[in-house]
Structure 1
Amino acid sequence: MAFDKKPLLRAVLGYFGRCSTRARLRWGRILGWLTPRLLRSRAYVVRVNLERCFPDLSTADRDALMQRHFHLLAQSFVDRGLCWFGTRERILDTVTLHGEHHLQTLLDQGRRILLFAPHFIALDAAATRLTLLVKESATLYTRQSDADVDEIVRLGRGRFNQVHLVSRHDGVRGLIRHLRKGIPVYYLPDMDFGRQGSAFIPFFGIPAATLLSAAQIAGTWDAVVLPIISRLDPDTGRYSVHIGPLVENFPGNDIPETATARLNALIEAEVRQDPAQYYWVHRRFKTRPEGEKGFY
C-alpha cells in the first residue's frame, strides 16, 4: 500500500503557516545549514554558478555567499507554509508591496501587462502577495512529479482571487489567451529551457540560453513589461516586493535578441545588489553554444 504523503506535507506546511516568526526563522536557520550538506549536487551547481558569475571574489567570499544563499532558500521554503496556509492578515503584514501604483495605473488603463518576475528567492511570496492585489492573473505552471505535492502547490498558489495556472506544455500560447483578455501574466523569464525559442544572451558576461518570449509577446500584443523584484530579510523574516516602473519603450524597434539583452541586463543589475537573493540552484548555463563544454 502506497504511503499517502499529503497529510504529512499539509501538517508540516500548515505548522509553518501558523507558527511564530521566531520559530519560522529558527527553522530557516536549521534547514539553511542542512541543505547544502544534504543536497550536495545542488551545492555543486551553486558553487559553479558563483565561480562563473563572480570570478573576482575569493573562494572564502563565494563560500560565504553560498551559505547565505542556502539560508535564504531554506527560509523561503519554510515560508511557503505562510503563503499557502497562513492567514491573509499575516501575509499582508509579512510581505510588503512597494510601487503598487505602477501596477494599479496600468490596470486602470486596461493595458496588457507582463509581470516580469526573475527568479529571486522571494518569488513565491511575491506571487502570493500580488494575488491579494490583482483579482485575476495567469502564470505558467510545471506539474510536480509527485501528485500529492502537485495538489498542494496548485491549491497554495491559487488560494487568493482567481489564478489561472497554465501548463508549461501549453507554452506561451496558453498565457497569450489570458493576456489578450487583459489578464495580467506573471512571467518568469530567466530559466534555461534549451535552444528552442531561445537565443544566447549575455548574463554576467556569459552566453545564456534565454527565451525571447517577453520581447515577442510585448511587441506582438502591445503588452507592457513591469518588473517584479522581490527580496527577503533573513533577520526579520519580512519580504519586500518592488513593482515597476515599466520598462520604457519595450521592445521598441529592437529585434527580440537586443530587447531581451536589455532585460537580462536589468536582472543582472538587480542581482548584483544582493547576489545571495538570486536562485543559483538552477543550472542557468546548462545549454551551451555548439562546441562549448558544459559547466556542470
Structure 2
Amino acid sequence: MAFDKKPLLRAVLGYFGRCPTRTRLRWGRALGWLVPRLLKSRAHVVRVNLAHCFPDLNQVERDAMARRHFHLLAQSFIDRGLCWFGDRQRILDTIELQGEHHLQALLDQGRRILLFAPHFIGLDAAATRLTLFLKESATIYTRQSDADVDEIVRLGRGRFNQVHLISRHDGVRGMIRLLRRSIPVYYLPDMDFGRHGSAFIPFFGVPAATLLSAAQIASSQDAVVVPIISRLDPDTGRYQVTVHPPVDHFPGNDTPEAATARLNAFIEDNVRPDPAQYYWVHRRFKTRPEGEAGFY
C-alpha cells in the first residue's frame, strides 16, 4: 500500500504557516545550516556560480556569501508554509508590497502586462502577495514529479485569486493567449533552458543562455515589461516586494538580443546590493558556447 504523504506535508507546512515568527526564523537558521551539508551538489553549484560572477572577491568573502545565501534560501522554503497555509492578514503583515500603483495604472489602461520576476529568494512570497492585489494572473508551471506535492503547490499558489498555470509545453503560445485577454503573466526570465529560443547574453560578464521571449513578446503583443524584485530580511522574517516602473521603450529599436541584455543588466543592478538574495543554486551557466567546457 502506497504511503499518502499529503496529510504529513499539509501538517508540516500548516505548522510553518501558523507558528510564531521567532519559531519560523529558528527553523530557517537550522535548515540553512543543514542544507549545504546534505545537498553537496547544490553547494558546489553555488560555489561555481559565485566564483564566475564575483571573481574579484576572495574565497573567504564568497564562502560567507554562500552561507548567507543558504540561510535565506532555507527561510524561503520554510515560508512557503506561510504563503500557502498562513492567514491573509499575517501574509499582508509579513510581505510588504511597494510600487503597486505602477501596476494599477497599467490595469486601468487595459495594457498587456508581463511581470518580469527574476529568481530572487523571495520569488514565491512575491507571487503570493501579488495574488492578493491582482484579481487574475498567470504563470508558467512545471508539474511536480510527486502528485501529492503537485496538488499542494497548485492549490497553495491559487489561494487568493484565479491563477492560470501555463505548461512548459505551451510556453510562449500559452503566455500570449492569456496576455491577449489582458491577464498579467508572471514570467521568470533567468533560467538556462538550452540553446533553443535563447542567445548567449552576458550575466555578470559570463555568457549565459538566456531566453529572448520577453523582448519578442513585448514587441509582437505590445506588452509592457514590469520588473518585480523581492528581498527577505532574515532578522525579521519580513519580505519587501517592489513593483518597478515599466521598462522604458522596451524593446524599442533594439534587437531581441540587445533588449535582453538590458534586462540582464537590470537584474545585475538589483543583485549587487545583496548578492546572497539571488537564487544561485540554479545551474545558470549549464549551456556553454560551442567548444567551451562545462562549469559544473
Both structures adopt the same fold (TM-score exceeding 0.5): yes
Query: How far apart, in 2, do the equivalents of 1:291 and 1:231 lie?
Result: 37
* Counterpart in the other structure of 1:273: 273
* Counterpart in the other structure of 1:3: 3
* Counterpart in the other structure of 2:75: 75
1:112-140 deviations in whole A, cap 9, x for unaligned?
A: 00000000000000000000000000000
* Counterpart in the other structure of 1:31: 31
Matched ranges for 1:196-211 at <5 A = 196-211=196-211
1:172-200 deviations in whole A, cap 9, x for unaligned?
A: 11111100010000000000000000000
Query: Number of aligned pairs?
Result: 296
1:197-256 deviations in whole A, cap 9, x for unaligned?
A: 000000000000000000000000000000000000000000000001110000001110
* Counterpart in the other structure of 1:192: 192
**TM superposition shift of 1:168:** 1.1
Query: How far apart, in 1, do the equivalents of 2:19 and 2:173 lie?
Result: 40
1:231 matched to 2:231? The reply is yes
* Counterpart in the other structure of 1:93: 93
1:140-195 deviations in whole A, cap 9, x for unaligned?
A: 00011111111100111111111101111111111111000100000000000000
* Counterpart in the other structure of 1:160: 160
**TM superposition shift of 1:2:** 1.5
* Counterpart in the other structure of 1:16: 16
1:57 matched to 2:57? The reply is yes
* Counterpart in the other structure of 1:109: 109
* Counterpart in the other structure of 1:173: 173
1:140 matched to 2:140? The reply is yes
> What letter corresponds to residue 144 of structure 1 in structure 2?
Q
**TM superposition shift of 1:3:** 1.4
> Which residues of structure 1 form unaligned runs of 5+?
none
1:22-44 deviations in whole A, cap 9, x for unaligned?
A: 10000000000000000000000
> What letter corresponds to residue 22 of structure 2 in structure 1?
R
| RMSD after superposition | 0.5
* Counterpart in the other structure of 1:218: 218
1:256 matched to 2:256? The reply is yes
1:266-286 deviations in whole A, cap 9, x for unaligned?
A: 001101111000000000000
Moved over 2 A (4+): none
* Counterpart in the other structure of 1:182: 182
* Counterpart in the other structure of 1:285: 285
1:48 matched to 2:37? The reply is no
Partner-residue secondary structure (3-state), 2:252:
coil
Query: How far apart, in 1, do the equivalents of 2:53 and 2:30 lie?
Result: 27
> What letter corresponds to residue 107 of structure 1 in structure 2?
L
Query: How far apart, in 1, do the equivalents of 2:123 and 2:74 lie?
Result: 13
Partner-residue secondary structure (3-state), 1:273:
coil
Query: How far apart, in 1, do the equivalents of 2:2 and 2:63 lie?
Result: 40
> What letter corresponds to residue 251 of structure 1 in structure 2?
P
1:295 matched to 2:295? The reply is yes
> What letter corresponds to residue 64 of structure 2 in structure 1?
A
TM-score, scaled to structure 2: 0.99
Query: How far apart, in 1, do the equivalents of 2:110 and 2:274 lie?
Result: 34
Query: How far apart, in 2, do the equivalents of 1:166 and 1:50 lie?
Result: 32
Query: How far apart, in 1, do the equivalents of 2:172 and 2:12 lie?
Result: 34
TM-score, scaled to structure 1: 0.99
Query: How far apart, in 2, do the equivalents of 1:116 and 1:171 lie?
Result: 15
